[in-house]
Every structure is written in structure tokens, then in C-alpha cells.
Amino acid sequence: MSTTSPVAPATGQAPVRRISYSRAINEAMAEEMERDERVFVMGQDVGAFGGVFGLTRNLYKRFGADRVIDTPISETFLVGGGVGAALTGLRPIVELQYADFLWNAGDEVIGKMSKWRYMHGSLFTVPMVLRLPEGAAGGAGPEHSTCPEAALLPATGTYIVIPSTPYDAKGLLKSAIRDDNPVAFFEHKGMYGLKGEVPEEEYTIPLGQADIKRAGSDVTVIAWGRLVHRALEAAELAAAEGIDVEVLDPRGLRPLDVEAITRTIEKTGRVVITHEAGRTGGAGAEIAAIIAETCLTSLEAPIRRVCGIETPIPQSLHLEQFIIPTADDLFQAIKETAAF
């Protein structure tokens, strides 16, 4: 795991530039490709076109066709080929066009990328990053809109990283690329345009450290990815009613910062867990279970999960808007949890 410590965005100093979440990701890739010639990118339309969401813009021009590779529509090759390249001295960044497509390479993700090292007696490392644009945005439908991060929870061997801000995205992606283990890196498509402070200077953020996005003492909301922002909005709504909300962003699911979770629960005694994926089988269950195991006696109210709809995500933009928890949904859950 990366050992560089996090650089907090400078405060009270010269203003830090603001760039988008997608630019932050693009910069992380460019800097790491510059730094280490073993790093290369492959995916559908990542070359001259710059990726369907523009994430690989300019990389092709800068690093050439050998290191920025347009692939066919062959997801088992994308992931399995990435593993093969990682086993033989390279450090691939593989972009799937949509996170949902990890199912097209299910065995390559679960059975090969995650297990190869362990099942071959730890004789190899598999230093690869699988970039996974996820989430509901723009009516892309049931097969292009999910947040399948929980699917990788049982895939011991693979780290799971989910940044919620441009700052986190850049710092975490750089650590992921430098890490010798496979990392599934989930980027919410609905945040690509989101701007935030990202220093000019180089920094990395270690994998597996939660971040308190807002400190508070009454109720904890555990949120990641795009829902961090809805949680922060909900916290403002709650503040207006005198409820002091802490928003904890685990910034990923493995390594999971259980200590930070325990700490916040011990502090507030009340917790709402939220994610865009449906409740059943979502990663909120794992976090809820850990809390119920390790700090049940600190709980002063039942655990609440506020999650996306359980059904497949409808294609219709009109219906899509109903599927994701809103700040208001969260605010209601916070109020009830505080009042319990």
C-alpha cells in the first residue's frame, strides 16, 4: 500500500486551483505514466478519441499508441489481458466503458485478477487498476447505470476504491496505480463534471483511510461516491433543525477503515448508511453488520440504510430520477434516527 501521507487541500493560503473530477483522474493517469513507463492504458475508444467520457483525453497524443490502446469489445480480454500484462512486468490501467461490464468479465475479475496471486502461492503480483465508471446518469438504463461495488466485497485480493471528490480521485488513483495489488476504482459518471480543489503539487492518498467530510456529534451518515454530496446537503438541512451530522466517507471498501467507523459510532451512537446501489446485497449491509458486531452497545438507535431502488434501473430518464436517495430522503432518516 502507498505510504505517502495525504496532503490536505491548503487552507488560508494561496487559492488552490479547482478542476473537475474527470480532469483529476486524467491528471493522475498522465502523471503516473510519466513517472513509470510500465504504466499503460487500455480500453474501448481510449485512444485518439479520449474515451467515451473523455477521461483519457490527450494521453494518446502524449504517450503514443503503444501505451494508450484502443481495444475491441472484448471485456474478458480487457480484464484477463490486463492480468496477463500485470503478471509479466507491466502496470495496466484498464478502463471498462461502464462499471456494469465487469459482469462480462466476471471470472476474469473475481477468479483471475483477484485470486491469481494467492492461488499461485503468492509467486506473482498483479499490479493493475480497473477503472469502472458507475452510477445512474442520463438514462443509460439497467445495464449501464449500476453501482456494483459490493460485488467485489467477497473478492479478497482486490482493493475497492471509490472517490467522492476531485481531490480524492487524483490522490487515490495515483496510489492505486503504484500499488502492487489489483484495485477496482469506481468513478461515478454523474460526478465527472464536479469541480473541487486540487493542488498543483503532487500528492497521494493512502488506500483504506476513511475521511470525515463533515464533523458532527449527533448522527453519523456513512456515504461514499456521489452520495457524499447528498449526505452533506442533508446535513445542512439537519443543522437547520439543530441536528449535528457527521459525514464519514470510507473512500472505498477494501481496505476498509473499520477503526474510523467504530470511532464515529462510539461518538454519535446513531448511524444512517447510504449508497446508490439497492439495499439488498449492497455494501451498506457489510458496514451495518460490522457495526452490529463490534459496537452494538454504543448504538442508541437502530441502524438505518437509505439506498437506491431494488429493481433494475429503468431506462427512462423520467423514472431514473426516482431511484437514487435524495438529500431529503436522507434528512428524514437522520431526523428519525436522531429522535429515536
Partner 1 sequence: MLTPETKIAIYRMMYLAQQWEMQLLRFLDDGQVSGFYHAGRGHEALEVASMMAVRTDDYLLYDHRGCAHMIAKGMSMVELYGDFLGNDKGSTTGLGAGIVHIADPAHGVLGQSGTLGGGHVLAAGAALSIKIRKTDQVAVNFFGDGAANRGTFHEGANVAGAWKLPMIYILQNNGWAISTPQARVTAVEHFSERAAGYGMVGVTIDGMDPWLVYETMAEAVERARTGGGATLIEGMVNRQRGHYEGDPMTYRPDEEIAAAKALDPVPATRQRLVDEGVLDDGALTELETEVLAEVQAAAAEAQTGTLPGRERLDQGVYA
Ligand X SMILES: Cc1ncc(C[n+]2csc(CCOP(=O)(O)OP(=O)(O)O)c2C)c(N)n1
Kindly list the residues in this chain that would bind its own copies in the complex (CB under 8 A).
100-107, 109-111, 114-115, 118-119, 141-143, 146, 148, 150-157, 254, 277-278, 280-286, 288-289, 291-294, 296-297, 299, 301-305, 310-312, 314-315
Nearer to ligand X, 51 or 163 (CB): 51
Choose the stretch contacting partner 1; rule: CB under 8 A; options: 104-112, 215-223, 256-264, 286-294: 104-112
Element housing 63 (H / E) = helix 59-63
Q: For residues 130 and 109, is the Cβ–Cβ distance under 8 A?
A: yes
Residue 92 to residue 253: CA distance in whole angstroms: 22
Return the sign of the alpha-carbon dihedral for residues 97, 101, 106, 110.
Answer: positive
**Cβ count near 215 (within 10 Å):** 12
Pattern 187-226, binding to ligand X, x per CB under 6 A?
----------------------------------------
82 near partner 1, judged by CB under 8 A = yes
Residue 70, helix vs strand vs coil: strand
Pattern 23-62, binding to partner 1, x per CB under 8 A?
-----------------x---xx-xxx--x----------
Residue of 144, 188, 229, 275 marked catalytic: 144
Q: How far apart are the first and last CA of the chain?
A: 40
Give the one entry of its own copies, partner 1, ligand X, none that residue 218 binds, where binding means its C-beta sits below a cut-off of 5 to 8 angstroms depending on kind.
Answer: none
CA dihedral 192, 194, 200, 205 (to 10 degrees): -70
CB of 181 to partner 1, least distance (A): 5
Q: For residues 191 and 170, is the Cβ–Cβ distance under 8 A?
A: no
Residue 47 to residue 69: CA distance in whole angstroms: 6
- Segment 131 to 190, residues that bind partner 1, using CB under 8 A: 138-144, 156-157, 179-181
Residue 42 to residue 66: CA distance in whole angstroms: 10
Backbone torsion region of residue 156, taken as left when φ is above 0, otherwise alpha when ψ lies between -120 and 50, otherwise beta: beta
Residue 100 to residue 98: CA distance in whole angstroms: 5
Return the sign of the alpha-carbon dihedral for residues 135, 283, 252, 116.
Answer: negative
- Length of the chain as a residue count: 340
DSSP 129-145: EEEEEES--SS--TTSS
CB of 67 to its own copies, least distance (A): 29
CB of 14 to partner 1, least distance (A): 36
278 near partner 1, judged by CB under 8 A = no
Nearer to its own copies, 230 or 305 (CB): 305
Nearer to partner 1, 112 or 230 (CB): 112
Q: Which residue type, as a one-letter code, is found at position 284?
A: G
CB of 72 to ligand X, least distance (A): 9
44 near ligand X, judged by CB under 6 A = yes
Choose the stretch contacting partner 1; rule: CB under 8 A; options: 23-31, 215-223, 272-280, 309-317: 309-317
CB of 93 to its own copies, least distance (A): 22
Pattern 95-134, binding to ligand X, x per CB under 6 A?
--x---x--x------------------------------
Q: Is position 188 annotated as part of the catalytic site?
A: no
Residues lying near ligand X in the complex (CB under 6 A): 44, 73, 75, 97, 101, 104
Q: Point out the residues that are catalytic.
A: 144
